Structure 1
Amino acid sequence: MAALDTDNIVAVIGAGTMGAGIAQVAAKAGHPVLLFDVAEGVALKGVQQITKGLNQLVARGRMSDEEQQSLIARIIPVNQMTDLAAADLVIEAVAERLDIKQSLFRELEGLCSQQTIFASNTSSLSITEIGAALERPERLVGMHFFNPAPVMKLVEVVRGLATERSVAEAVFDTATQWGKKAVHTRSTPGFIVNRVARPFYAEALRVLEVGGANVATIDALMRDCAGFRMGPFELMDLIGLDVNYAVTCSVHAAYYGDQRFTPSLIQKELVDAGYLGRKSGRGFYDYREDIAGDSGQSPEAPSNVGVRYSDANAEILLAPPCEPPPMVTLVGDAPYAPVLIDLMNKAGIAVERETADQPDDFLIVCGEAILARTDGRLATQAVAEDGVSDLVVFDLALDYAKATRIAIAAADQTSESALEEAIGFWQALGKTVSVIDDIPGLCVMRTVCMLANEGSDAVNQQVCSAEAVDTAMQFGVNYPKGPMAWADAIGTVNVATILDNLLSTYGEDRYRASPLLVRKAMTQRPFLGDDS
């Protein structure tokens, strides 16, 4: 079964923001679209909303008048379910209730052709369970768009237990033809995105919980060092803490209490207090002052945080200016060493090279200070175990050349003068330095490794491919790099080691390494491009 032809009729049920957006996508691809909503007049309002949005594109010169009029002409609001009988593909975007979706598809089975494909835009319900109530569950597939549907590229194509492969392939090819990045996934809790994304929030909340760094600092590091468009606390405030917390609880329950998905008590307390983020005026950040002002708009950058965290989390932690070192010694080598050497050369820092005792070691000796990238241990533990002195660990960066900020942490045994030398080194390289507490894995490294681990487990459990993980996270939630590609860049051996060290420190099953990651580490093979 190939992609639908443009003369095939697409029906969309539910004319709210998501349904109207899906209708716009299908119409733009050239299909005649029937838009239906059970509430009287809502389908027509949906078309009017689409028209309003397209008018803005015309005004900006991104669409011609003719294109806009042709697109709108292909969307027909209808008033009765019976008007959908001729549809070749029906996509529902109604309330996230199992009984409503099952009832809807049962009714459609009695109206539409036996060859009609039924697709659900559900983000949380099981396609298998929805299909269990149908006579033709093999014609049902998940087609999970992301909001706003006309803008976001990703579509998760979700196979239930009974879904015919040809049906899933047809929807995959159709979504691709519509200009989307489609990925195949089995119908498991959270599919790909809502499952793999959990550590992005969970690790930030854990760092906050143990006092590793404050809200503003964690957000700044994830933006300016890791390359994410928004920090986790900013994003939770934007999504709504109640919504984000509910998804975490749902995934946690669906996986029978697996510790990897354990919800945060900090987040629960804010939800219980009604601090839901931007929509309520405060969450991790406080937006009320600006909302009460003349503009009536919430600020681009939050000013401070909710009551409990107000003083401790309002400001980004910044190290004071320190003297740059005239020379450093690099012991060993690492893939990112050339980037740092180039930055040192530009900063006028002389570089000497020495061979390391262990092939995987890479240290930067800067006066008294010894700098090493975090391996998931406490810096204090590394000093005790390795016999080094004045150790300062630094965090992972998406690109050390482009990162504007870096997190470092000193071991308890490290002298103040050595810490100042480490600060001066990174400042000389043009980085804003945030000194955080000595926590295992710091901020970026632990988060990225946990994202990669969750992606690895999804692949290991046959939910999707490694390539699908990266496509989903980059095009569904705008990650700067796919988790599996990031794991390959760090090295699967290093990722497994970091997770093992996190597990050893916390003693929590949430940090257990995926069996597939362990296998990759044992063979030193990557996730992507490995045909062996």
Structure 2
Amino acid sequence: MAALNSTEQVAVIGAGAMGVGIAQIAAQAGHPVKLYDARPGAAAQAIEGIDRQLGRLVEKGKLAADARNATVARMQAVDAIEELADSRLVIEAIVENLEVKRGLLRQLEELCAVDCILASNTSSLSITSLAAGLKQPRRVVGMHFFNPAPLMALVEIVSGLDTDPAIANGLHALAGAWGKKPVHTRSTPGFIVNRVARPFYAESLRLLQEGAADCASLDALMRDAGGFRMGAFELTDLIGHDVNYAVTCSVFDAYYGDFRFQPSLIQKELVDAGRLGRKSGRGFYDYAEGTERPQPAELASATSIDSCVVEGDLGVASGLLQRLQDNGVSVSRRDGAGLLRVGDAVLALSDGRLASQRAREDGLRNLLLIDLALDYAKATRIGISWSADTTEGARDQAVALLQRAGLKVTALADIPGLAVLRTVAMLANEGADAVLQGVGTAADIDLAMCAGVNYPLGPLAWADRIGVGQVLRVLDNLQRDYGEERYRPSLLLRRLDAEGRNFHD
């Protein structure tokens, strides 16, 4: 089916934040919209709220008054669900409860015409389960918006076992017509975003638990080196630990206890203590008025560095060399295994091994490992670790070189994969398994993570940039060091590496 004509009526059930946002989007796209909520007066109050919100945009010059008036005029609050019977599309955004939603869908199936599409904004419930028992489960589909719906670009179009592909394709086109970025996904736990995003939180939580660095330092590395808008600790403080922990537990349980999704005891303790983040005034950080935000730890050196030697190809970290040259450092080149030498220090991009382990296995003294950066030419901070035999002088020389490139240097304990690299490798690994299992295409998964949670680069595109083989080596080394299934590489990574292909070939 094609996208709905903008003259066709859309109904939204639920006048909470998500329902109201969806109703606003549909009305702004030109549809007549009916809004229903079981609470008396809630729908009318919600439309009044939209009117006020759009009014503020008019006052700021961000919206024409005529557009505001037309949008509000297209919206109608109704007091009885029976008034939705003439709708072409009904989107429910009610409480996240399987039985309650099932009951509503059964009611709508009896009430609405046979060609009416029944969509759920569920973020976690199975579309297959929601449609089970209906006479026409083919017309039930997920249409998962992200909060706040008018601002967030992504919409996950979720197909259950019986969903008609033509209906899913039609809603995909409709979401695009509404100015959104839609992706197709199968009805599996977490869909795309809530599944693939789990390692972003999990790896920082594990690094904190292992004493790799403090919250402020780990968050700074994810922002200033990784290019993420927030680190995991400030982001979970914003989301709310009760919400984030519950989603992690839900995905973990849905995958029968797969340790890749294992919840964190540190986060559970915060939830148990009522430290839910910003909304409670305290989470990983203290949000009380007047409290100073902790600053990331940084290493500093007063040593003067004028030259360095590059042995072989630094791969994805090669952008660092131009920075050094631009800042007056003479860079000499010779054959080798991808190392950067300055004085007594040897620097290398992490490959997932412990620094001391790599120093012993590769016969390198004074070895320091460099973490991944989104763009080594533009990053403002870099994480490093070093082997046990690294002298203070060699460490100082390495720090001085990185400072000369204009980088702030944050130390991590000698842990496998450092911070940004292991997080990105695990995100790519989860994305790879989602592709392997038919949850979504590589393009849709990358789009979902960029549009849905503002990642600076899709995890599979990032894997292509690093090199699929390198990501696989990092994961193999992480699994070897930890001895856990948590870090097992996806079969798709092995297949692509064996075939010499990338995700987006």
What is the TM-score when the length of structure 2 is the normalising length?
0.99
Q: Distance in 2 between matches of 1:189 and 1:348?
A: 52
Q: Distance in 2 between matches of 1:338 and 1:467?
A: 26
User: What are the within-5 Å matches in structure 2 for residues 111-190 of structure 1?
Assistant: 111-190=111-190
Offset, 1:175: 0.5
Q: Distance in 1 between matches of 2:196 and 2:216?
A: 24
1:322 and 1:427 in contact (8 A); partners too? no
Q: Distance in 1 between matches of 2:377 and 2:274?
A: 41
**Equivalent in the alignment of 2:263:** 263
**Equivalent in the alignment of 1:495:** 471
**Equivalent in the alignment of 2:426:** 450
Letter in 2 for 1:400: Y
Offset, 1:158: 0.2
Moved more, 449-458 or 324-333: 324-333
1:225 and 1:397 in contact (8 A); partners too? yes
What do residues 70-128 of structure 1 show as CA deviations (whole Å, max 9, x unaligned)? Answer: 01101111111011010000000000001110111111111110000000000010000
Q: Identity percentage over the alignment? A: 54
Q: Distance in 2 between matches of 1:496 and 1:91?
A: 41
Q: Distance in 2 between matches of 1:230 and 1:240?
A: 14
Q: Distance in 1 between matches of 2:170 and 2:356?
A: 55
**Equivalent in the alignment of 1:331:** 311
Offset, 1:520: 1.0
Q: 1:383 to 1:336 in 2, by over 3 A?
A: same
**Equivalent in the alignment of 2:405:** 429
Q: Distance in 1 between matches of 2:462 and 2:74?
A: 42
Alpha-carbon RMSD across the aligned residues, in angstroms, is 1.0
Letter in 2 for 1:144: H
**Equivalent in the alignment of 2:348:** 372
Offset, 1:374: 0.3
**Equivalent in the alignment of 1:311:** none
Letter in 2 for 1:39: R
Q: Which runs of 5+ in 2 are unaligned?
A: none
User: What are the within-5 Å matches in structure 2 for residues 209-220 of structure 1?
Assistant: 209-220=209-220
User: What are the within-5 Å matches in structure 2 for residues 363-442 of structure 1?
Assistant: 363-442=339-418
Q: Which runs of 5+ in 1 are unaligned?
A: 291-301, 305-313
**Equivalent in the alignment of 1:351:** 331
Offset, 1:337: 5.3
1:104 paired with 2:104, answer: yes
1:478 paired with 2:458, answer: no
Offset, 1:61: 1.1
1:85 and 1:111 in contact (8 A); partners too? yes
Offset, 1:519: 0.7
**Equivalent in the alignment of 1:21:** 21
What do residues 191-214 of structure 1 show as CA deviations (whole Å, max 9, x unaligned)? Answer: 000000000000000100110111
**Equivalent in the alignment of 1:87:** 87
Partner of 1:406, secondary structure, is: strand
**Equivalent in the alignment of 2:240:** 240
1:322 and 1:423 in contact (8 A); partners too? no
**Equivalent in the alignment of 1:303:** 292
Q: Distance in 2 between matches of 1:218 and 1:322?
A: 25
1:146 and 1:152 in contact (8 A); partners too? yes
Partner of 1:289, secondary structure, is: coil
Q: Distance in 2 between matches of 1:154 and 1:337?
A: 31
Deviation beyond 3 Å, 4+ runs, structure 1: 334-338
Offset, 1:334: 3.3
Q: Distance in 1 between matches of 2:176 and 2:384?
A: 43
Q: Distance in 2 between matches of 1:340 and 1:256?
A: 43
Letter in 2 for 1:254: A
Offset, 1:338: 4.7
Q: Distance in 2 between matches of 1:187 and 1:254?
A: 12
1:289 paired with 2:294, answer: no
Offset, 1:279: 0.8
2:384 and 2:409 in contact (8 A); partners too? yes
What do residues 348-375 of structure 1 show as CA deviations (whole Å, max 9, x unaligned)? Answer: 111110011xxxx311000100000000
**Equivalent in the alignment of 1:5:** 5
Letter in 1 for 2:314: A
What is the TM-score when the length of structure 1 is the normalising length?
0.94
**Equivalent in the alignment of 1:308:** none
Q: Distance in 2 between matches of 1:149 and 1:79?
A: 24
1:376 and 1:499 in contact (8 A); partners too? yes
Q: Distance in 2 between matches of 1:46 and 1:134?
A: 31
Offset, 1:289: 3.3
Q: Distance in 2 between matches of 1:326 and 1:45?
A: 67
Offset, 1:56: 1.6
Q: Distance in 2 between matches of 1:337 and 1:463?
A: 32
Q: Distance in 1 between matches of 2:298 and 2:114?
A: 64
Q: Distance in 2 between matches of 1:201 and 1:89?
A: 36
1:285 and 1:303 in contact (8 A); partners too? no
Offset, 1:39: 0.3
2:310 and 2:332 in contact (8 A); partners too? yes
